[in-house]
Chains A and B, each alone.
Chain A
Amino acid sequence: MTGASSSSQTIRRVSPTDLGAEAANLLAAGYRLALAACHDDGDALRAVYLFAAGPPSRLVELHVPIDADRPHLPSLAEISFPAGRFEREMHDLFGVVPDNHPLPRRLVRHPNWPAGWYPMRHDAGPPPAFATTQEPYQFLHIDGPGVYEIPVGPVHAGLIEPGHFRFSVVGETILELEIRLWFVHRGIEKLFESRRPADGVALAERISGDTAVGHSLAYTQAIETALGITVSPRDGRLRAMLLELERIYNHVTDLGALANDVGYGVLNGHAQHIREQLLRLNHTVTGHRLLRGAITPGTTHLLQLPDPRQLRDVGADIAELAGLILANSTVCDRFARTARLTRTQAADLGCLGYVARASGQTADARHDHPTCDLEPEPVIHDSGDVLARFLVRRDEIAASVALVEEIIETAGMGDGPKDCRIVVDRGRRSGIGIVEGWRGTIVHRVEIADGTITRHKIVDPSWFNWPALPIALAETIVPDFPLTNKSFNLSYAGNDL
Chain B
Amino acid sequence: MTLAGPVGAIAQTAVVALGAPALVGTMRQVRARLEGRAGPGVAQPYRDLRKLLGKQSLTPEGTTVVFAAAPAVIAAATLIIAAAIPLATTASPLDGGADLLAVVGLLLTGTVALVLAGLDTGTPFGGMGASRETTIAALVEPTVLLAVFALSIRAGSSNLAVIVADTARRPGHVLSPAGALAFAALVVVVIAETGRLPVDNPATHLELTMVHEAMVLEYSGPKLAVIEWGAAMRLTVLLGLLVNLFLPWGVAGSHSGPLAVVLGLGAVVAKVAVAGTALATGEVYLAKVRLFRVPELLAGSFLLGLLAVTASYFLASPTV
**Do A and B belong to a common assembly?**
yes
Footprint of B on A, CB under 8 Å?
Answer: 148-152, 157-158, 172, 259, 261-266, 269-270, 273, 328, 330-331, 333-334, 477-482
With known contacts A172-B291, A263-B198, A479-B290, A270–B36 Cβ distance under 8 A? yes
Alpha-carbon distance A482/B207, docked complex (angstroms): 9
With known contacts A151-B124, A263-B197, A270-B36, A330–B291 Cβ distance under 8 A? no
B36–A152 touching, CB < 8 Å:
no
Q: Give the residue name and chain of the A residue nearest to B210 (CB).
A: A479
Distance in Å: Cβ of B188 to nearest Cβ of chain A: 14
With known contacts A150-B128, A263-B197, A273–B36 Cβ distance under 8 A? yes
B286–A478 touching, CB < 8 Å:
no
**Majority secondary structure of chain A interface residues (helix, strand, loop or mixed):** helix
Supplied contacts A149-B124, A263-B203, A334-B287, 4 more A-B pairs, CB within 8 Å: A172-B291, A172-B292, A264-B286, A328-B287
Q: Give the residue name and chain of the B residue nearest to A331 (CB).
A: B287
**17 A/B residue pairs, CB under 8 Å, sorted by A:** A150-B125, A150-B208, A152-B207, A157-B206, A172-B291, A172-B292, A261-B209, A263-B198, A263-B203, A263-B204, A266-B36, A330-B288, A333-B293, A334-B287, A334-B290, A479-B208, A479-B291
Alpha-carbon distance A264/B288, docked complex (angstroms): 7
Alpha-carbon distance A421/B293, docked complex (angstroms): 64
Alpha-carbon distance A157/B209, docked complex (angstroms): 13
Within 8 A of A (CB), among B270-305: 284-293
With known contacts A148-B124, A266-B34, A482–B287 Cβ distance under 8 A? no
Alpha-carbon distance A158/B209, docked complex (angstroms): 14
B291–A261 touching, CB < 8 Å:
no
Alpha-carbon distance A330/B103, docked complex (angstroms): 33
Q: CB-CB < 8 A to B205: which residues of A? A: 157-158
Q: Give the residue name and chain of the A residue nearest to B197 (CB).
A: A263
With known contacts A477-B292, A482-B206, A150–B124 Cβ distance under 8 A? yes
Alpha-carbon distance A394/B285, docked complex (angstroms): 21
Of all A-B residue pairs in the complex, the 8 with the closest CB atoms, nearest first, are A263-B288, A263-B201, A157-B205, A264-B287, A482-B206, A150-B124, A330-B287, A479-B209
With known contacts A330-B198, A479-B208, A148–B127 Cβ distance under 8 A? yes
| B35 close to A (CB within 8 Å) | yes
| B37 close to A (CB within 8 Å) | yes
A262–B287 touching, CB < 8 Å:
yes
Q: CB-CB < 8 A to A263: which residues of B? A: 197-198, 201, 203-204, 286-288
Alpha-carbon distance A352/B307, docked complex (angstroms): 53
Alpha-carbon distance A328/B127, docked complex (angstroms): 31
Distance in Å: Cβ of B58 to nearest Cβ of chain A: 17
Distance in Å: Cβ of B33 to nearest Cβ of chain A: 11
Q: CB-CB < 8 A to B204: which residues of A? A: 263
With known contacts A150-B208, A158-B205, A273-B36, A478–B290 Cβ distance under 8 A? no
Please count the residue pairs between chain A and chain B whose beta carbons lie under 8 angstroms apart in the complex: 76
Q: Give the residue name and chain of the A residue nearest to B290 (CB).
A: A334
Distance in Å: Cβ of B49 to nearest Cβ of chain A: 21
A330–B286 touching, CB < 8 Å:
yes
B35–A333 touching, CB < 8 Å:
no
A269–B287 touching, CB < 8 Å:
no
Distance in Å: Cβ of A159 to nearest Cβ of chain B: 10
Q: CB-CB < 8 A to B207: which residues of A? A: 152, 157
Q: Give the residue name and chain of the A residue nearest to B206 (CB).
A: A482
Distance in Å: Cβ of A101 to nearest Cβ of chain B: 33
Contact partner of A333 (CB less than 8 A), chosen from B127, B201, B289, is B289
Alpha-carbon distance A160/B209, docked complex (angstroms): 17
Alpha-carbon distance A331/B287, docked complex (angstroms): 6
Q: CB-CB < 8 A to B287: which residues of A? A: 259, 262-264, 328, 330-331, 334
Q: CB-CB < 8 A to B36: which residues of A? A: 266, 269-270, 273
Q: CB-CB < 8 A to A480: which residues of B? A: 290
B290–A333 touching, CB < 8 Å:
yes
Within 8 A of A (CB), among B1-43: 31, 34-37
Q: Give the residue name and chain of the B residue nearest to A151 (CB).
A: B124
Within 8 A of A (CB), among B97-136: 124-125, 127-128
Distance in Å: Cβ of B197 to nearest Cβ of chain A: 5
Distance in Å: Cβ of A446 to nearest Cβ of chain B: 40
Alpha-carbon distance A29/B165, docked complex (angstroms): 83
Q: CB-CB < 8 A to B127: which residues of A? A: 148
Q: CB-CB < 8 A to A149: which residues of B? A: 124
Q: CB-CB < 8 A to A261: which residues of B? A: 206, 209
Distance in Å: Cβ of B67 to nearest Cβ of chain A: 20
Alpha-carbon distance A273/B35, docked complex (angstroms): 11
Alpha-carbon distance A232/B26, docked complex (angstroms): 59
Q: CB-CB < 8 A to A152: which residues of B? A: 207-208
Distance in Å: Cβ of B307 to nearest Cβ of chain A: 24
Alpha-carbon distance A158/B203, docked complex (angstroms): 12
Q: CB-CB < 8 A to A270: which residues of B? A: 36
Alpha-carbon distance A129/B288, docked complex (angstroms): 49
Within 8 A of A (CB), among B191-223: 197-198, 201, 203-209
Distance in Å: Cβ of A178 to nearest Cβ of chain B: 15
B35–A269 touching, CB < 8 Å:
yes
Tell which of B37, B197, B206, B292 has the most Cβ of chain A within 10 Å. B206
Q: Give the residue name and chain of the B residue nearest to A333 (CB).
A: B290
Q: CB-CB < 8 A to B203: which residues of A? A: 263, 265
Alpha-carbon distance A267/B37, docked complex (angstroms): 12
With known contacts A150-B125, A479-B290, A266–B284 Cβ distance under 8 A? yes
A477–B124 touching, CB < 8 Å:
no
Alpha-carbon distance A330/B204, docked complex (angstroms): 17
Alpha-carbon distance A480/B289, docked complex (angstroms): 10
Alpha-carbon distance A151/B127, docked complex (angstroms): 13
Q: CB-CB < 8 A to B128: which residues of A? A: 150, 478
Alpha-carbon distance A263/B293, docked complex (angstroms): 15
B288–A262 touching, CB < 8 Å:
yes
A482–B209 touching, CB < 8 Å:
yes
Q: Give the residue name and chain of the B residue nearest to A148 (CB).
A: B124
Alpha-carbon distance A14/B57, docked complex (angstroms): 66
Q: CB-CB < 8 A to A330: which residues of B? A: 198, 286-289
Alpha-carbon distance A172/B209, docked complex (angstroms): 11
Distance in Å: Cβ of A2 to nearest Cβ of chain B: 43
Distance in Å: Cβ of B54 to nearest Cβ of chain A: 22
Distance in Å: Cβ of B287 to nearest Cβ of chain A: 4
Distance in Å: Cβ of A303 to nearest Cβ of chain B: 30
Q: CB-CB < 8 A to A151: which residues of B? A: 124
